[in-house]
A and B are shown apart, each in its own frame.
Chain A
Amino acid sequence: GQQVMQIPQYQHVQEGEDFTTYCNSSTTLSNIQWYKQRPGGHPVFLIQLVKSGEVKKQKRLTFQFGEAKKNSSLHITATQTTDVGTYFCAGPLGAGGTSYGKLTFGQGTILTVHP
């Protein structure tokens, strides 16, 4: 079935190192979204990418959407302990990818940052 794959599953970094997580969809996406979930918390929306090849930045976070709109990445420069959590990509797979429909989440990448 249609799915969103995310790697790596875990990433341990020293504070100050960079971090990247990658997301791949089995089908073309109308958009890709990224969420962060702190330990014990709920998913919090970070950003949405819509255009092919789009790149967006939020301070130390850089988000990319692939040219074919089937993959995406999140890169964090110089990680801090506040970056700890699970990062999920999500997309509107299935049923034509309606604007108000379900999100299909990737498995998430658990980031731990050692001070």
Chain B
Amino acid sequence: EPEVTQTPSHQVTQMGQEVILRCVPISNHLYFYWYRQILGQKVEFLVSFYNNEISEKSEIFDDQFSVERPDGSNFTLKIRSTKLEDSAMYFCASSYRLRGRPVAFQETQYFGPGTRLLVL
């Protein structure tokens, strides 16, 4: 069964450093997402991406964050200058679109295994 993959699984960085988290969404999916989960807390939406542009972002996704689809398979999240509070598990997710679905139906988002980011 196809799955979303993420690299690295763990990343340790110093405060102020830039990090790039990488994701390979499921190949026929068109919608891509980043979520984060601070240890012991709920999953929080960061950003959604479609057709090579951001379609929605949360208040968390400030100017320090950016996303990119550099080629046909990868989807990246960059944090320009990490802060201690950026320490979290970052999940990438992807979904596809089927024609003829009812408007109320939302395509399933498939989550990757996550990257655990620790900022020291």
A: residues with CB less than 8 A from B are 30-31, 33, 35, 41-45, 48, 50, 88, 90, 92, 95, 98-108
A92 to B56 CA separation, bound complex (whole angstroms): 12
A30 contacts B106, CB within 8 Å?
A: yes
A103 to B24 CA separation, bound complex (whole angstroms): 20
B: residues with CB less than 8 A from A are 31, 33, 35, 41-45, 48, 50, 55-56, 58, 91, 95, 97, 101-114
Taking the closest CB of chain A, its distance from the CB of B3, in whole angstroms, is 10
B48 contacts A100, CB within 8 Å?
A: yes
**9 pairs across A/B with beta carbons < 8 Å?**
A33-B106, A35-B43, A41-B113, A88-B43, A99-B104, A100-B48, A100-B55, A103-B109, A105-B43
Main secondary structure of the interface of A (DSSP, over half): loop
Write out the residue numbers on chain B whose beta carbons fall within 8 Å of the beta carbon of A103.
35, 43, 45, 106, 109
Write out the residue numbers on chain B whose beta carbons fall within 8 Å of the beta carbon of A100.
31, 48, 50, 55, 95, 97, 106-107
Taking the closest CB of chain A, its distance from the CB of B59, in whole angstroms, is 9
Q: Assuming the A-B contacts A102-B56, A106-B42, are A42 and B106 also in contact, with contact meaning beta carbons closer than 8 angstroms in the complex?
A: no
Taking the closest CB of chain B, its distance from the CB of A95, in whole angstroms, is 6
Contact of A43 among B31, B50, B56, B91 (CB under 8 A): B91
Q: Assuming the A-B contacts A42-B114, A45-B110, A101-B55, are A50 and B45 also in contact, with contact meaning beta carbons closer than 8 angstroms in the complex?
A: no
Write out the residue numbers on chain B whose beta carbons fall within 8 Å of the beta carbon of A98.
56
Write out the residue numbers on chain A whose beta carbons fall within 8 Å of the beta carbon of B104.
30-31, 50, 99
Closest 10 CB pairs of A and B: A102-B45, A30-B104, A105-B43, A42-B111, A107-B42, A105-B42, A43-B111, A50-B104, A100-B31, A45-B108
Write out the residue numbers on chain B whose beta carbons fall within 8 Å of the beta carbon of A48.
105-106, 108
